[in-house]
Amino acid sequence: MKIVSCFSRADEIAPLAEAGADELYCAVADIPSYGFGVLRGGLATAVTRAHRLGKKVSLAVNSMRLTYSRAQMLQFAGRLRQAAEHGVDAFIVASPAVFELFRELKEKVPAPVHLSSVQPCFNSGTARYFIRLGISRLILPSQVAPAEAAGILRECRAAGVETEIFDYRFFGCVYVNGRCNLHDPVFHTFTSGKEGDAMCRCGAGTAGRLEVRPADVAPARAALAPALARRLYTRMTCGGPPRLANAAAFFDFFRGGVDFLKYGTRRDPSGVKVRKVRELRALLDLAEALKASLPAAAARAEFIRRMSAWRGLEGGGR
Ligand SMILES: [Zn+2]
């Protein structure tokens, strides 16, 4: 399994590559994409720098809210052609209309197209639909469990289409990315306690800001209180990844042969991005080592045990 990391500045590329990123992706201001954090600086410079390190760059073109007139669509097509000329290796697409546009531009924009998780693929029928539209990679939404994804993975393997999942710790909406309007401040007036711009992540990355504390607990039950408070905190703040996405799910996807592991919080500061990619690398190293040294069931159990106790590389790691 290889690592795909987001970046938002050209000077992040070398440290991310050094931390273990095998591929990179970004978004740019003049092409609509999902989420926050566009590239500062020129795309051509960034792609050149990545290619010099032997890393491919994909570009997010995954907005679901394109309401272009014909003239605007032509301008959009021009910007895609320009990105391809700058050397972009692949485009991450969500809207079926944009797939159609790429089909029309095939000669001028020959770069492959990846299906974004923002247009979530929940079953093998959907996978077949997008495979027919010509994708070279399918990025799974975090809401699909490995067993549910088995049919999708089979379709992709048979068609020679690569597959990708998100790191379960560092990305994701508890609802469905691209469909969850709580990410967009246009839809709410809540201003404190949320992570970045996302209301659905309130408190998730800001331990201590929104608190759930046990109070007046009967002494005989005191031992139960901390775990209960943690569960309530997660429920009340929608904190953390979807409940399906955990160490067990990751290991099953890993064993199932998913090709790429993605980290995609583009608005993270540079230092945080590098630290998270190092964590992804360590996670993969652990999975590889356990797979190589233990029978399947024991490797899975040990992986879950180690990851449940994981407090990050800085926190003592493994
Ligand atoms: Zn959300």
Q: What is the DSSP string of 241-307?
A: S-TT-SHHHHHHHHHTT--EEEE--TTS-HHHHHHHHHHHHHHHHHHHHHHHHS-HHHHHHHHHHHH
* pLDDT bracket for residue 285 (50, 70, 90): very high
Answer yes or no: are the C-beta atoms of 186 and 198 closer than 8 Å.
no
pLDDT at position 316, please? 41
Count, in order, helices (H) and strands (E) of the chain: 10, 8
Determine the 3-state secondary structure of 2 from DSSP.
strand
pLDDT tens digits, 21-70? 999 999 999 999 988 889 999 999 999 999 999 999 999 999 988 889 98
Compute, in angstroms, the gap from residue 190 CA to the centroid of ligand 1.
Answer: 14
Compute, in angstroms, the gap from residue 34 CA to the centroid of ligand 1.
Answer: 12
Quote the CA–CA distance of 230 and 228 in Å, as a whole number: 5
pLDDT tens digits, 72-121? 999 999 999 999 999 999 999 999 889 999 999 888 888 999 999 999 99
Compute, in angstroms, the gap from residue 181 CA to the centroid of ligand 1.
Answer: 7
* pLDDT bracket for residue 180 (50, 70, 90): confident
Compute, in angstroms, the gap from residue 42 CA to the centroid of ligand 1.
Answer: 30
Inform me whether the pLDDT recorded for 189 exceeds 70: yes
pTM assigned to the model = 0.87
Residue 131 CA to chain centroid, in angstroms?
Answer: 20
Higher model confidence: residue 252 or residue 236?
252
Q: What is the mean pLDDT of residues 222-229?
A: 90
251, two tokens:
């290991």
Determine the 3-state secondary structure of 115 from DSSP.
strand
pLDDT at position 305, please? 96
pLDDT at position 187, please? 77
Q: Domain 2-171+243-284 adopts which CATH fold?
A: TIM Barrel (3.20.20)
Structural domain spans, the chain: 2-171+243-284, 189-237
* pLDDT bracket for residue 245 (50, 70, 90): confident
Compute, in angstroms, the gap from residue 166 CA to the centroid of ligand 1.
Answer: 15
pLDDT tens digits, 7-25? 999 999 999 999 999 999 9
Quote the CA–CA distance of 70 and 32 in Å, as a whole number: 16
Q: What is the mean pLDDT of residues 199-213?
A: 65
pLDDT at position 169, please? 83
Compute, in angstroms, the gap from residue 199 CA to the centroid of ligand 1.
Answer: 7
Answer yes or no: are the C-beta atoms of 59 and 93 closer than 8 Å.
no
State the average pLDDT for the chain: 89
Inform me whether the pLDDT recorded for 208 exceeds 60: no
Q: What is the mean pLDDT of residues 157-169?
A: 95
Higher model confidence: residue 163 or residue 243?
163
Inform me whether the pLDDT recorded for 317 exceeds 50: no
Inform me whether the pLDDT recorded for 207 exceeds 60: no
Compute, in angstroms, the gap from residue 219 CA to the centroid of ligand 1.
Answer: 38
Compute, in angstroms, the gap from residue 198 CA to the centroid of ligand 1.
Answer: 6
286, two tokens:
């652990």
Compute, in angstroms, the gap from residue 180 CA to the centroid of ligand 1.
Answer: 5
> DSSP string spanning 221-233?
GGGGHHHHHHHHH
Quote the CA–CA distance of 10 and 59 in Å, as a whole number: 14
Task: Determine which helix (DSSP H) or strand (DSSP E) holds 74, and give its type and residue range.
Answer: helix 70-85
Q: What is the mean pLDDT of residues 227-244?
A: 74
* pLDDT bracket for residue 239 (50, 70, 90): low
pLDDT at position 282, please? 96
Compute, in angstroms, the gap from residue 179 CA to the centroid of ligand 1.
Answer: 8
- As a residue count, the chain comes to 318
Q: What is the mean pLDDT of residues 167-184?
A: 80
Q: What is the mean pLDDT of residues 171-197?
A: 75
Compute, in angstroms, the gap from residue 68 CA to the centroid of ligand 1.
Answer: 25
